[in-house]
Every structure is written in C-alpha cells, then in structure tokens.
C-alpha cells in the first residue's frame, strides 16, 4: 500500500514539473489549418507554423517566461496571442490573404513584432506594463493598425507601405516615443502620448495624408512631414519642453 501511494505521488510530481517547463510546437502544412494552445504557468514558449489555407490560431500563455512565434503563410490568416505576465515577447508573420493579428501582453518585459505582407491586413496591439516596445510592418492592401501601450518604457513603430493605410498609437505614460511612416495611398494617423518623455515622428509620403498628434505633458517633441497629395496636419502639445516641426511639400497643404 505504501509503495502504491509513493508511486502515485512520484507520478503526480513528475506531471507537475512537466507542466512547469511548458513548451509547445505545432506545424501544419495544408488545408483547413487551425490551432489553439494554452499554457498556464512557468517557462512557457510556443511556436506555430501553418502553411496554406484556412489558417487561424489562438494562444494564451499566462505566467512566467512567455514567448511565442507564429508564422502563417497563405490564405485566411488570423492569429490572436494573449500573454499575461513576465518576460513576454511574441513575433508574428502572416504573409498572404485575409491577415489580421491581435495581441495583448499585460505585464513585464513586453515586446511585439508583427509583419503582415499582403492583402486585408489589420493588427492591434495592447501592452499594459513595463518595458513595452512594439513594431508592426504591413505592406500592401487594406492596412490599418492600433497600438495602445499604457505604462513604462513605451516605444512603437508602424510602417505601412501601400493601400488604405490607417494607424493610431496611444501611449499613456513613461518614456514614450513613436514613429509612423506610411508611404502610399489613403494615409491618415492619429497619435496621442499623454505623459513623460514624449517624442513622435511621422512621415507620410504620398496620397490622401492627414496626421493629428497630441502630446500632453513633459519633454514633448514631434516632427511631421507629408510629401505629396492632400496633406493636412494638426499638432497640439500642452506642457513642458514642447517643440514641433511640420513640413508638407506640395499639394493641398493645411496645418493648424
């Protein structure tokens, strides 16, 4: 009887240790791909790769050394990642058709990178606290993006090269920074950075440009440059070391 109990305890212990060193890898090559991974606690990690057709994925890793990588190469891509606490990261690449990506990382060494290559791009990133940074590149088709980083060493970068661009970045507090470049088609952008070492830089090179920037307090900055077509800009910086430069080279400039 004692032997049986001892064996059961040993087995339970082995399962707990296994659960704590999470890792997952999924590779799926063709047709109605799909994935779902959930890892609750300890040194999480995950890698997913799906090659072609109705891709979709969904990942949740709640605590400790999170990381994630995902690559979905062709068709109805989606992806959603949600990592809750500790040394978060995530990298996502989705190359062709109905791309979309969503991410939410709540606390500690956040970082995120998304590259989506072609078609109905979209993205959304929300990183709530610690060493945030983020980086998105969406090349051709119906781009749009939204980044929201709430506190600590924020940063952000969006590059969207062609089609119905968009973008909006809101960074709430601490060492903000940001940068947006959108090269062609229906550009626009809104950026709001509320408090601490703000800065911003936006350049939209051609077509229906707009841009609106609003930085609320501390060592503001800003620079906007929109080279061609229906430009418009508006900058508003409330308190401390303001600055600002707007250069709009030609077509229907307007600055307020």
Which pLDDT score, from 0 to 100, does residue 183 have? 92
Confidence at 175, pLDDT banded by 50, 70, 90: very high
Which pLDDT score, from 0 to 100, does residue 135 have? 95
The whole-model pTM stands at 0.85
Q: What single-letter DSSP state applies at residue 255?
A: B
Which pLDDT score, from 0 to 100, does residue 19 have? 55
* Angle in degrees, CA 58, 62, 66, rounded to 5: 85
Which pLDDT score, from 0 to 100, does residue 252 have? 73
Confidence at 39, pLDDT banded by 50, 70, 90: very high
pLDDT digits (tens, 9 = 90+) for 75-123: 999 999 999 999 999 999 999 999 999 999 999 999 999 999 899 999 9
Give the percent of the chain with pLDDT over 70: 92
Please name every residue paired with 82 in a beta bridge, in sequence order, or none if there are none.
60, 104
CA atoms of 164 and 150, how far apart (whole Å) = 27
- Judged against a pLDDT cut of 50, whether residue 13 lies above it is answered with no
pLDDT digits (tens, 9 = 90+) for 202-251: 999 999 998 999 999 999 999 999 999 889 999 999 999 999 999 998 77
Domain extents for the chain? 2-250
Quick one: which of 184, 190, 169 has its CA closest to 125?
A: 169
């Amino acid at each position: 009887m004692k032997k049986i109990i001892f064996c059961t305890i040993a087995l339970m212990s082995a399962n707990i240790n296994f659960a704590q060193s999470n890792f997952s890898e999924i590779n799926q090559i063709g047709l109605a791909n799909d994935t779902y991974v959930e890892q609750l606690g300890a040194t999480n990690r995950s890698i997913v790769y799906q090659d072609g057709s109705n891709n979709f994925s969904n990942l949740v890793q709640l605590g400790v050394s999170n990381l994630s990588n995902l690559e979905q190469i062709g068709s109805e891509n989606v992806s959603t990642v949600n990592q809750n606490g500790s040394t978060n990261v995530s990298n996502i690449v989705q190359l062709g058709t109905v791309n979309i990506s969503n991410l939410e990382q709540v606390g500690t060494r956040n970082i995120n990178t998304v590259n989506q290559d072609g078609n109905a791009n979209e993205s959304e990133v929300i990183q709530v606290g610690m060493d945030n940074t983020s980086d998105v590149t969406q090349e051709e088709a119906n781009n749009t993006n939204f980044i929201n980083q709430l506190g600590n060493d924020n940063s952000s970068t969006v590059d969207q090269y062609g089609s119905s661009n968009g973008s909006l970045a809101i960074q709430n507090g601490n060492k903000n920074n940001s940068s947006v470049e959108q090269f062609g088609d229906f550009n626009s952008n809104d950026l709001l950075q509320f408090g601490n070492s703000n800065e911003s830089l936006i350049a939209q090179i051609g077509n229906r440009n707009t841009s609106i920037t609003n930085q609320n307090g501390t060592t503001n900055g800003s620079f906007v440059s929109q080279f061609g077509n229906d430009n418009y800009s508006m900058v508003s910086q409330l308190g401390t070391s303001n600055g600002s430069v707007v250069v709009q080279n030609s077509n229907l400039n307007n600055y307020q």
